[in-house]
Structure 1
Amino acid sequence: MFEQPRDEESGVYVPPPDDQQRDPDATDDPLPEYQDTTVFPVWLRESSKSFRWGWMPLPFRKAGWAVVRWVKGPVPPRTLLLKPLFPRLQELPAHYLNRLFPKRWHKIVLLLLLYVSWFLPWFLVMFHARTSGYIEGYGRPQTLSCTSTYWSSSRNNCGLNGNECRPFSSSHLAFRCPAECDATILLEPHVVGNHTYNYQGLVVGGPRESSSKAIYRADSFICQAAIHAGVVSKINGGCGVVKLEGASHSYPAVKQNGIQSVGFPSTFPKSFSFVKLSSSQATCPQDPRWPLLGVTVAAIVLLWLFSSSPAVLFFSTFFILISHVALVSDPPPTMYLADLVSIFLSRLLPASFIVYVLYRFCARPLLQPLSAPIYQLTKTFLYLPLAFIGALNNYTFAKWIPLQRLTPHDIQQQPGAKLALCLVVPIVLSIILGQAWHIRCGGLMPHYLKVYCSMGLTLIVLLSLPDLRLRIHHYILAILLMHGTAFPTRPSLIYQGLLLGLFVNGVGRWGFASIIETPAALGESPVGHGWWGAAYPNITNASVLISLPGNDNGWTYRGNGNITFNLWEHERMQDLGVDGVSVLVNDVERWKGYLDEDKSGEFTWHRHGHRGLELIHGPTIESADPDMVGVSDIAEEDEEPEDLFFRFAYLKGAESGNYGGAGVWLKDGTWFSPPPPKD
């Protein structure tokens, strides 16, 4: 073979070798290949009619050939196979297994015994923890999720006057909370009065200074409130009894037991507290996730130490891990075990087909060359730890990296997300470049360029779709990147284990969420108001009329009176195609008005202390004519007024859009208008 000189004019031609991929399962010694040593001058080669690149200038041709030679890698390509450390030590487990159980059917029986030994204690403990327990006087506790609440935080799901979330009082619930609920955070903005909270827990209220009894607003996370009140443990969870208290007139902000609650200075119609129980009154098994994790780890480690079959290792690890994630360590929120099993099985079937494809094209090329006993410990201690780190994502990356969703909105809004992205991106790029170098050295770069260019083109097309957002869930990230680990090196063992764990966690916890989602589904407002509900009414001082009592009428509190809103914006509402307006008072829907029924479009609230806010007295709202607006005298006694918070949204049929910011009517009668819409 002649090396091509740098001067192309005096160079010689060497026919390139056949562009064939090297089989990673092939032997280390490359087979001898025939090479034609015939050389031709460059001028003769390029004068041929079949030469296609004559139109390109010589410097560009040189650069192009250099890039092609670099992409194809060294000749011959290097063998991508790790060298084991202490091979005699690593083959000891397989040696003793073959010595004690030499026949194949012996090993099959042992494998089945391992499955049974894992499943029986694992399932019985999990079943006992979710279905047993008893609280004297209140019955068997119901299992709650960390985000369970009495009042829906979505757009007005409790309906007019909160009727869809009744009862408000005189009700008890025995409950069981899982472990680690103190780390649960909001993933969508949640408004309490005139404050918006996101990416933090949700506990509204707590004990007042004059009382040890803690009262919480109904939209608080019940399990977080139970930790705040000291009823259950943040580490192990626990059981308790929650009591509905009806309306409460203020909710203090209190920090205790490691949780900071938020305050609300006015009335909310539904509240709850926790019943104090004696130690002998309740029997409640602790959350079993950590003991069962030990059972799962032991089963998988034993499997990897003694089995060498790539199919057995990969599929067994997948099934055991996804069962543990979906049913124990990070289950989807549901109260009943039957529903949980149903959700798990609905996700397991499609996940199994995907895992089969991942095995054929990713796991088998990695694990098959490492099936010899001398790689047994290397596979176990490189693959499994990262697989568990990925599968337990809710305890690892979700806590370590403050980046819940990889969307522009979350990157801009979540505290610490930009810094986390600046740290994560260089690490991921360095991993990709390291794998790309191994791929080139193995002569596999042309194949991988075809695969990942196709993936990149698909993502670009999805990214360009109008009114949709590309969202790379971590199960999708695992599918995209796992093919880059399909060769037997130590980094590939580490990265593929991590990606398998992320796939398991993503599917087991969240299911097969779409790769593209609407801005509304992600809590964003579409640019240009592509969705009608992104706009909201423009409430200005000119559209508000306040009527307060005089100083000579005998009323103690001048802040009691009436406030009237003129809500119809006919031209703007016609352009948006909306039908009416919804009004929240103290975060509860109190009025719905439609253009075709209410010609005046006026909403009046009579304030007399907290009367009407409890939803147990007569009506205090009306759609009134201007000449009817006056000071209400429906109360027999003059009560101290409270600050009131008003929010407005458009209606299209029965559906409400996004509510705007809060306008505040202070107890002294002063009015602060809400922020204007951005259109």
Structure 2
Amino acid sequence: MARRYSDFDQENIPLSNYTSQDGYDDREATTESGNGSSSYHDTGNTNGQSGEESEEDVRAALYGASPKIDFFIRLWNGPINATDEPPSRIGSFLRIEELPEKFNKRYSRRFKIGCLSLYLALWFLLVYRITIPYLTVPPVVIGEPDTEVKAVSCTGDSEFWRGRNGACGLNGEYCPSFNTEKDIVIRCPALCDRDSFVFSYVPVGDKQIKYRSFVVGGGKLDSDSELLTHPYRADSSPCGSAVHAGLISPFRGGCARIRYTGAKSWFPSKKGSYGTGQSIEFPSFFPSSFSFKNLISPNSSSHVTHCYDPRFMVLILNIILGVPVVFFASGAVAFWVINVVGFWTICLATDPPRDVDPSDPGSFASLISLSLQRFLPSVFIMYVLWHSSVKRTLSNSRKVSRQLGGETSIAFSPLSRVCFWYPFTWLGVLNNVTFDRLPVDRLTSSDLQRVETLISVTILASVIFSCAIYQAYAIWLSGRFRGYLALYGSFIIGLALVSCIPNLSLRIHHYILALLLIPGCATRGRVALSFQGILMGLFLSGAARWGLASIAETFVALNRDDPLGSVLPPEFIGFDNSTGLLSWQEPNVTLSNSAKAALEKFDAISLLINDIERFVGNIAGVNLRELFQMVPELKSSIDSSLKSGFKDDAGNILIYIRIGRKILLDQVYSDFSKAAILKWPSGEFTNSQPGLT
């Protein structure tokens, strides 16, 4: 009978029928018939019939009832002669392709292990010398011993701004002093053109900012003044602002000198550098701002140490040094070396799971601890993936034919591993530079309402579907279609059951997507090499950066810092210009018992004026005329804006007012309303739109 594949390719083939490297059982070994044909026949046939007769018996038994039935039988059982050949060597590069085999035959196993160990040790030491000083040695300004350099993340630091929606406290008391002009030198990592994005709605006046860098105002200053930029609103991302101003490279990071410049009456939108686009406009006053100065005075001999982020240098070095391992070593060695290197490249260079302050030794220790916490389970998963899927694709398997007493072998192409599996693996490892820059976030219904997200998701889904169809055909050709159909059927059923768990939402993180799709890429060939490479890279990116996040998450976790809607703020009634009274009332909604219990904990009303808390009390209104006069800094900002700020055609400035609730003792806030707009001094009041901030 003609030999067929079992569902998961577990049949035993005598070792005398083929040769294989890595000790891997090569299912494509064939025994040639005397006439030189290349079909695969069962050497264990005992019925005395020739291989051709046995094949005819199989065809007669399975096929011939009708064309339609034949089609479905063939679809279900696969081809008579199942094939899954490894990529053959490229004839024009045959001499290069033969180098690994010649190297393996010439040198002993002990010598090769020694060479690999020495190579890996030198590789480690080189990367260590580049990476560790940046993470552990604090930067200093040589020549300015009194100047501290603060290492900050792309999104900022609590020492610069505490947060949104009243996080700075009444009149901004918890945020930097509004009247103190001082210089601060900051060190920013690379990739702050993207990593300074906000992924939860942040209110700026009457706008809601999301999926863009939080940079308000600013822009390059063309005049020859001490300052290099126009003022940025003080809650802007300092590193994102430095990239926007063109002072810090998104590829190397760098250092910048900030000068706090006090209150400003208008923050117009300005075009940024490095493709960052326009900054956010805020056409009103804000009590604090900053601008950038020259890092070092033009005639000074001072300089800043450990300023530039070496992550791309480390990345390029690792990619180059990994090529010889992938080319010369066995599939198993290449798999483990590259995946381990890729994991730690993410953790220490390209996308660390936590920020490191080199002035705090504990922060680097915490990074290593967190990375090790994620590394050990990732190694176990890689072990399972290797034995269940990747081993078949990546091993140095070969096809051997017996012809007239001799043997002809078609060996695995090492260049195919280098040209297909290896670069696609790094493409997945660099997920934060490649796929994360697409306008796709969490695939929630609200995210899919964005046109650019819907287009990107459609394209990605089309690519994945096309790849799935191709791989399904490749698995069918290999005779294992039924087994994989059962496997993926169980995957679908499992996902459906998880999605039905109450109060949880199914979340297919990209590392989970990789785990689901890698088994379907367990075929030989260049296409399978490419698919497995990119999927393994995505697994490493997810596991190293975010950990093995849950496949089912609560709606609160998915919400991030967006409004929850559990406690509604009061609603504005209106503004009486003659008395100066701004009044509000409780929302006209029916509350559940749990909502009433939550509402009772809030004992005060909080009023934000231009995104800064200006009033806290438990009354149903406030006299804005009196409030504007009682707070000296607020009065000064309004007077300055009336002289030189943004004004409408009637000479009014815009004041944005939001209302929310507060627990006084714990400094806890509810959601706030959207901004109402007060035109001052005319008193024209536009109530807030429905929705929360």
TM bucket, shorter chain: 0.7 to 0.9
How big is the shift at 1:104?
1.6
Q: CA RMSD in A?
A: 3.7
- Normalised by the length of structure 1, the TM-score is 0.78
- Normalised by the length of structure 2, the TM-score is 0.77
CA distance in 1, matches of 2:172, 2:79: 71
CA distance in 1, matches of 2:456, 2:148: 43
Counterpart code for 1:296: N
Q: The residue matched to 1:522 in structure 2 has which SS? A: helix
How big is the shift at 1:438?
0.7
Q: The residue matched to 1:521 in structure 2 has which SS? A: helix
Q: How does 1:413-492 map onto structure 2 within 5 Å?
A: 413=450, 415-492=451-528
Residue of structure 2 aligned with 1:188, choices 186, 200, 205: 200
Deviations 1:239-276 (A, max 9, x none): 12223344333322222435421122333333323233
Q: The residue matched to 1:408 in structure 2 has which SS? A: coil
CA distance in 2, matches of 1:608, 1:589: 12
How big is the shift at 1:517?
2.7
CA distance in 1, matches of 2:234, 2:445: 32
Question: Quick check: 1:344 aligned with 2:371?
Answer: yes
* Partner in structure 1 of residue 212 of structure 2: 200
Question: Quick check: 1:324 aligned with 2:361?
Answer: no
CA distance in 2, matches of 1:168, 1:343: 37
Distance 1:677 1:186, change over 3 A: closer
How big is the shift at 1:195?
0.8
* Partner in structure 2 of residue 392 of structure 1: 430
How big is the shift at 1:497?
0.6
* Partner in structure 1 of residue 290 of structure 2: 272
Deviations 1:9-36 (A, max 9, x none): xxxxxxx989554346235225346599
Distance 1:489 1:127, change over 3 A: same
* Partner in structure 1 of residue 35 of structure 2: none
Distance 1:230 1:20, change over 3 A: closer
CA distance in 2, matches of 1:428, 1:201: 30
Structure 2 stretches of 5 or more lacking a match?
11-24, 31-39, 48-52, 55-60, 359-363, 399-409, 637-650
* Partner in structure 2 of residue 355 of structure 1: 382
How big is the shift at 1:166?
4.4
How big is the shift at 1:209?
9.7
CA contact (8 A) 1:307 1:313 kept: yes
Question: Quick check: 1:146 aligned with 2:154?
Answer: yes
Counterpart code for 1:470: L
Taking only the aligned residue pairs, the percentage that are identical comes to 29
Q: The residue matched to 1:583 in structure 2 has which SS? A: strand
CA contact (8 A) 1:145 1:223 kept: yes
* Partner in structure 2 of residue 565 of structure 1: 584
* Partner in structure 1 of residue 443 of structure 2: 406
Counterpart code for 2:674: G
Deviations 1:275-301 (A, max 9, x none): 333253322443222322221012210
CA contact (8 A) 1:369 1:488 kept: no
How big is the shift at 1:478?
0.9
* Partner in structure 2 of residue 676 of structure 1: 690
How big is the shift at 1:525?
11
How big is the shift at 1:671?
0.8
Question: Quick check: 1:656 aligned with 2:678?
Answer: no
* Partner in structure 2 of residue 334 of structure 1: 355
How big is the shift at 1:81?
3.0
CA distance in 2, matches of 1:332, 1:35: 61
Deviations 1:339-360 (A, max 9, x none): 4333322322222222222222
Q: The residue matched to 2:355 in structure 1 has which SS? A: coil
CA distance in 2, matches of 1:466, 1:588: 39
Distance 1:604 1:66, change over 3 A: farther
Distance 1:576 1:496, change over 3 A: same
CA contact (8 A) 2:628 2:635 kept: no
Q: The residue matched to 1:496 in structure 2 has which SS? A: helix
Distance 1:244 1:382, change over 3 A: same
Counterpart code for 1:576: A
* Partner in structure 1 of residue 26 of structure 2: 25
How big is the shift at 1:546?
2.4
CA contact (8 A) 2:422 2:533 kept: yes
How big is the shift at 1:393?
1.9
Aligned length: 598
Counterpart code for 1:182: D
* Partner in structure 2 of residue 74 of structure 1: 79
How big is the shift at 1:69?
4.2
Identify which of structures 1 and 2 has the higher relative contact order when contacts are C-alpha pairs closer than 8 Å and 6+ apart.
2
- When structure 1 is superposed on structure 2, of 269-278 and 288-297 the one drifting more is 269-278
* Partner in structure 1 of residue 115 of structure 2: 110
How big is the shift at 1:487?
2.1
Deviations 1:105-150 (A, max 9, x none): 2111111112122111212112233435422435453332222253
How big is the shift at 1:480?
1.0
CA distance in 2, matches of 1:253, 1:186: 18
Q: The residue matched to 1:142 in structure 2 has which SS? A: strand
Distance 1:370 1:533, change over 3 A: same
Q: How does 1:242-281 map onto structure 2 within 5 Å?
A: 242-257=258-273, 258-259=275-276, 260-276=278-294, 277-278=296-297, 280-281=301-302
CA distance in 2, matches of 1:521, 1:437: 39
CA distance in 2, matches of 1:569, 1:361: 59
CA distance in 2, matches of 1:62, 1:607: 90
Q: The residue matched to 1:420 in structure 2 has which SS? A: helix
- When structure 1 is superposed on structure 2, of 133-142 and 480-489 the one drifting more is 133-142
Counterpart code for 2:447: D
Distance 1:231 1:19, change over 3 A: closer
How big is the shift at 1:570?
8.7
Distance 1:319 1:524, change over 3 A: closer
Structure 1 stretches of 5 or more lacking a match?
3-15, 39-44, 46-58, 550-560, 618-639
Q: The residue matched to 1:224 in structure 2 has which SS? A: helix
* Partner in structure 2 of residue 647 of structure 1: 658
